[in-house]
Structure 1
């Protein structure tokens, strides 16, 4: 933020010294140059005092006389007052930006890179050892208004990511948070977002009730979940949040935007549509959050994300939360954040599973999965009251497994991309309430969703990436609870065997011998743009033969 504040300050100063080019500060010349920007009251053109002829000045004077001296003088006084008011507003605006993140900007500009390690938490960035950035151990330590902390009454103390994030976010610093799902990330950025709105509103910087904060989410379900949290967080303070996403009619969302909103939560596709329609204006948004940033890029939303970020304030606070930190997300952060953002890692930014989840991997034949699934449900879901989440890979597979289980007497619902949004919302609601505690889902439910008390996750189909496997099993073992993840692994998945072995070993889990039979080789990552930069060669591959060519340039 420091770099952008400097630029903003420089622009403000240059507007006062226009025409000097930063060199000639002669007072007389400054007065003459100021007149160049003065509007002619009897025309739309800008009057250049150095080029205006004597005749034009006389005509201007004659017109003022015709309109009456007293009226002209009154108008001049009014314009002068308006000009002073505008200049004061601009000064106050800049002061407010500096006050809300000024000390943070100074830290970036004048500080040094530091790193603090405490247990499994690593905090890095400029001046992170400053006492004002000490972790918030108790909610009272945050020194926030009581209505803002109303949403935290159900918790005894801030979670680790909240404890570390709040001091930096409330100081206006750009922030990167890497933490596992279920760690309280939503309130980690939600409470500072509410405070940002209140500060802007109190300073009367906002025109009407346009959006001041933006939260981007990769999926509709996660957007709805974030919206539920932020609506609750802002209710006592009068901060209004609106959620926009695809798969539903636009008209209710348009109406919500037009009625006034403080925080917009949305998926990239629908939000971009509303911006292009002129329904949603983000030019006052100075607090931007990208939640599950890695997932958004994996789903191909990078062009929309870039377009949306470009339509927000140039001077803004940017926040990114992610469970992992791959190269594409790192590159996006470098482009849209300050050169020195704060980075807080809870646990590891490398691929690692929740250690509170017992992982069981079973290698079996593809055709035996149905019977094995039913057997496991009889074991894990015998009471038919505890929550069990079954993950599949494809949409049609989700429907087939749902119908198969229902035909065998199981009360099951499913959630996948082919279902209409209201059907997905209803299925998720039934599962959360416990009315239907058995749900079959594609990876649309693997990320970010806060589903309480999921005791067991069964991976009927192994996902396409090990990252998705880690996110799937992260639906259980949340908030300090223990969980079980039972995974089916077939020979079609053997290319991911090495990565899965590493995840199991890192978490201290049992690695079955049948899985080791596929080998422990870890496939090198490929560039999405250029593909692989290597070629795997088997150990028993024949040696290369030297090929010679006749010189075609020789003539007989």
Structure 2
């Protein structure tokens, strides 16, 4: 070894070593140039996005001013397009025995002529939302009802207020303390069920569970209506105790509710007001057998209500089986897949390895103060934990909600996010549907969901109650099969379609039948039946 060092001192480095150092230095310089170029490209992208947001807000402001100058509002008419007096959204009403004067859409809360204690939860709103103004006249009259409206449109109060009135009328007739519930609300996920109802203020419930409440529960307390929330992932004991104490409204997920019914602690024979919320999602999650079993245990004379953002044939068949032959159906906007137009959608095509750095850059832009609410969606449970840890290492205060977490931890995380204590949350699609989290300014789709329907529900967490929002989405090569549907959603909402996205093609993949694969013809359940054609027996010449 000593001789080698002496040789180097006397004759210098061998030629191969010199070449190695030169190449290493050259590669280092090239790497620095690439990093500098990447930083410049990132800076240009951010500037371009800021300009797009400014132009988008100008366009929305101009359209809003134009709409306010135009007079809108048409009487209800079966099967015809209507304009809502609230915000100009198209409304379609269909059903038999619709009396225009009796079921006229409400333009104010005063027109509903409801008790003050019932309307306590509406005091922060100036007027009913379109789905509320059209739904309440029918629901308060006891009609079976189907409501199709976009996420964030006020569906919870649309069925919640009539539920409270249903309880008031029943309690007036029977003043003794109730043991069995009168109203049932079925929801597909724990988080969605929790937001509709809180457990009674009893020592058997922990503080985290008490913290989950929304306006419907506040209205229930002012009316004296008792509710219990039944969901899996937590102890059955407190839920059983609440049921034994007597409740008016049961809100729950199909799995846990069916378990407690089989154990004999939850009896639904007196339930005469039933709501299926996000019915399409429940069937997608495989809850159809549980839903059918639960509905069969309710009162034979009941009012059925279904609310959803989409209306597939499977949900239509369920409605035909458990509803009156002629339910009223109100569609706000369109039955086709459409995103909230109050959300600015930015789609960026990029490589998987670039997502972490890009997410940090976006958070430095959208979440600079670390006070505004930002929701980051991922696809898998382990991915949620990894992204949460990565953000925490980068100096961001973040929480996460996913299936690998215990229910107590999920509840705590949601509570911290809703309170604003920790306004940055990473979540899987368990938080994509129905959750009413106030003032979420930005949604970032770190991973694109498995379906475009889930994409629409994800970005619906922002831009709620008439407010504006931003949804920034990462789209990768592996998502190319959904490019056509995403392009259609962007175009329908008047958003910018990036050129990189159209390179994947704009073809919409045909939906497959579970039994027959892709080679089948989709036939609507309400399509006219085929006619039998008979031929005479005369021989042809």
TM-score (norm 1): 0.74
Match in the other structure for 1:139: 109
Residue 206 of structure 1: CA displacement?
8.0
Partners in 2 of 1:171 and 1:206 — Cα distance? 25
Q: Which of 366, 375, 382 pairs up with 1:396?
A: 382
Match in the other structure for 2:369: 383
Q: Which of 280, 284, 289 pairs up with 1:298?
A: 284
Partners in 2 of 1:287 and 1:140 — Cα distance? 24
Partners in 1 of 2:451 and 2:178 — Cα distance? 46
Residue 129 of structure 1: CA displacement?
3.9
Match in the other structure for 1:222: 192
Cα contact 1:178–1:325 (8 A) shared by 2: yes
Establish whether residue 159 from structure 1 lines up as the match of residue 129 from structure 2: yes
Residue 420 of structure 1: CA displacement?
0.7
Partners in 1 of 2:163 and 2:505 — Cα distance? 48
Cα contact 1:161–1:346 (8 A) shared by 2: yes
Q: Which of 97, 120, 142 pairs up with 1:127?
A: 97
Match in the other structure for 2:416: 430
Residue 217 of structure 1: CA displacement?
0.6
Residue 128 of structure 1: CA displacement?
2.6
The correspondence of residues 35-434 of structure 1 with structure 2, limited to 5 A, is 114-115=79-80, 117-118=82-83, 119=88, 120-204=90-174, 208-227=178-197, 228=213, 229-434=215-420
Match in the other structure for 1:73: none
Cα contact 2:261–2:267 (8 A) shared by 1: yes
Match in the other structure for 2:445: 459
Q: Deviations over 1:267-302 (max 9, x none)?
A: 100000010000000000010000111111111111
The correspondence of residues 474-493 of structure 1 with structure 2, limited to 5 A, is 474-493=460-479
The size of the alignment, in residue pairs, is 424
Q: Which of 405, 428, 433 pairs up with 1:447?
A: 433
Structure whose alpha-carbon radius of gyration is higher: 1
- 1:133 is paired with a residue whose SS is coil
**Structure 1 unaligned runs (5+)?**
1-111, 536-556
Partners in 1 of 2:357 and 2:431 — Cα distance? 24
The correspondence of residues 18-29 of structure 1 with structure 2, limited to 5 A, is none
- 1:456 is paired with a residue whose SS is strand
Partners in 2 of 1:116 and 1:476 — Cα distance? 27
Residues 208 and 512 of structure 1, relative CA distance in 2, 3 Å threshold = closer
Residue 207 of structure 1: CA displacement?
8.2
Q: Deviations over 1:442-490 (max 9, x none)?
A: 0001000011111111110000000000111111111111111111111
Cα contact 1:211–1:262 (8 A) shared by 2: yes
What is the Cα-based RMSD across aligned positions, in Å? 1.6
Partners in 2 of 1:376 and 1:200 — Cα distance? 53
Residue 115 of structure 1: CA displacement?
4.0
- 2:95 is paired with a residue whose SS is strand
Match in the other structure for 2:495: 509
Partners in 2 of 1:474 and 1:338 — Cα distance? 31
